[in-house]
Structure 1
Amino acid sequence: MKRYARRKKFKVKKLFILLFTVMLCVMAGKVLHSSLTTPFLGNITHHMASEDHGWNLILVNRENYIPADYEVQLTELSNGKKVDSRIYPELQEMFNAARAQGYGLFVREGYRTQEEQQQLMNEKIEAYENEGKSKSEAKKLAEQWVAIPGTSEHQLGIAVDINADTTKSSRDDVYNWLEENAHTYGFIKRYPSNKTDITGVINEPWHYRYVGKEAASAIYSQGICLEEYIETLE
């Protein structure tokens, strides 16, 4: 009887340990899922961009995907392009200042949906395939020019591509004005030519991203990019 009781007690203890282990695994899985999810590519897991430093400082790039539940409230511009409503006042202020100084400029691209970003990628891949590239080569080349869907700042609504109205100003004049003045309105040149090794994106003198006036001034004065600035906050 004593031997039976000991055996029964051992089985109960073993069952308790097993149940406890299962509970730990479930809890760990929930924690992992909160920071890693798979909204874009099948079973591949991606790290989600964090809004811990504020909506204006969310860092989206090839390593940080836009969260699946990210929401944007949009304002439509006079030419039909759309931007996050929160950046509209500073964007308009910046354009008013540039135009008052005689510069002609307009928003060539604002907010894009996931579907629109995917369409751009598909078109770029197809263009390279038409040049004789293999599917894998075409995809690799396309990703040098078009952000992978889910990693484009245009999907956030807080980035704009600004072009020159060449009937009034040259491209260089507009790009130079933006580079020297955009930070005073809360915008940064997101992909400088000397930061390609960090951002992973070629020089884009037309692409400006809203980060807020305080962050923009710091980034401009220190000559750093957004990735480097975020590191100083952590």
Structure 2
Amino acid sequence: MMRRKNKRRRRAAFGIYFLLVIAVLMLIGGIKLVVDNWTTPARASGMGIDTGGSGDGWQLLLVNRWNPIPEGYAPELTELWNGESVDSRIYSYLQEMFDDARTEVLEPYVNAGYRTNEVQQSLMDQEVEDYISQGYSEADAREMAEQWVAVPGTSEHQLGLAVDISMDDNGSQSAVDVWQWLMENSYKYGFILRYPEDKTEITGIAYEPWHYRYVGKEAAEDIYRRGVCLEEYLGN
């Protein structure tokens, strides 16, 4: 009888031990799941690095002639109807903005979205050649070109977060009408006029009324209300 009791006790102890092992394994699996979920936004940002802890840093990533694109940056893209592409995360906001603009009898479209480094280099080379053909030296031509075309590796177009917006030629209004509407309303959708006329010395780029950058709705409204550029907003 005593042996039977001891055997039952051993079985009970083994059962408790087995349950404890299962619990520990589940806990380890839960921790791994949490870690994986925390790191996913950083990978989704296209940089393979954490850009803001919560994964939201991609919206405010500063890229200009002094701050190049992080190495390995490769956004997930969504192609537009005309063959241009944008970062997939901004597509719905861009679409909403365009839909609302159309209710004002405007017909905006993206004539430049994401660019590869090769395309950006080609644009720079062409701009330099245009100035040289006008009689400028190569050094002067390059300096002047860089006022309009970002040096490859420092263009927001390579992020997929910036778009050049124009007006459909078949529309009853002009591109200027579209740009005016965007200046007054783009912040509602998370976009900002990236290169304002009075911020050239700070941004390093000449005034471009067609160039809009997604930064998220909260930041866009703050930037719009304060009348600052992205560099000023980020304290750079």
Please classify the TM superposition score into its range, dividing by the shorter chain length: 0.7 to 0.9
Match of 1:37 in 2: none
Q: Report deviation, 1:89.
A: 0.5
In 2, Cα distance between the equivalents of 1:59 and 1:207? 15
Match of 1:181 in 2: 185
Match of 1:51 in 2: 51
Match of 2:174 in 1: 170
Structure 1 residue matching 2:89: 3-state secondary structure? coil
In 2, Cα distance between the equivalents of 1:166 and 1:132? 33
User: Larger C-alpha radius of gyration, 1 or 2?
Assistant: 2
Q: Report deviation, 1:83.
A: 0.3
Q: Are positions 1:223 and 2:205 aligned together? A: no
Q: Give the RMSD, CA atoms, in angstroms.
A: 1.4
Within-5 A mapping of 1:130-169: 130-168=133-171, 169=173
TM-score in terms of structure 1 length: 0.75
Letter in 2 for 1:51: T
Identity percentage over the alignment?
Answer: 57
Q: Are positions 1:195 and 2:199 aligned together? A: yes
In 2, Cα distance between the equivalents of 1:131 and 1:101? 41
Q: Are positions 1:213 and 2:217 aligned together? A: yes
2:86 to 57, 70, 83: 83
TM-score in terms of structure 2 length: 0.75
Q: Report deviation, 1:132.
A: 2.1
Structure 1 residue matching 2:219: 3-state secondary structure? helix
Deviations, residues 112-157 of structure 1 (Å, cap 9, x unaligned): 0000000001111111122222221111111111100011000000
Q: Are positions 1:69 and 2:72 aligned together? A: yes
Letter in 2 for 1:224: V
Gaps of 5+ in 2: 1-49
Deviations, residues 54-90 of structure 1 (Å, cap 9, x unaligned): 0010000011000111121000001110000000000
In 1, Cα distance between the equivalents of 2:189 and 2:79? 19
Match of 1:103 in 2: 106
Q: Report deviation, 1:166.
A: 3.6
Contact persistence 1:65–1:150 (CA under 8 A): yes
Deviations, residues 170-203 of structure 1 (Å, cap 9, x unaligned): 1221111000000000000000101112111111
Letter in 2 for 1:230: L
Count residues in correspondence. 183
